[in-house]
Amino acid sequence: MSGSTKTMGYMTVGALVTVTAYTVALGSSGWLWFGWVVLGLCTLGMLATQDV
């Protein structure tokens, strides 16, 4: 796994923690969850297309 893919993975996990904390503290926001799903799909795309 390349450095940029690891960084993207860490950012995705960090965003999940942040969005979950926001949801618990202030209530759900559909746009935040949508953004996290898009970020997760981008991360999966990076994993799928990287050279081995």
- Band (52; pLDDT cuts 50, 70, 90): low
Q: How far is CA 25 from CA 6, 7, 19, 20, in A?
A: 29, 27, 10, 9
Residue 50: per-residue pLDDT: 82
Q: What is the pLDDT of residues 5-41, one digit of tens each?
A: 899 999 999 999 999 999 999 998 899 999 999 999 9
pLDDT at residue 45, rounded to an integer: 93
Per-residue pLDDT at 31? 93
Selected residue with higher pLDDT from 35 and 2:
35
Say if residue 6 is exposed, middle or buried (CB neighbours under 10 Å; 0-12, 13-18, 19+).
exposed
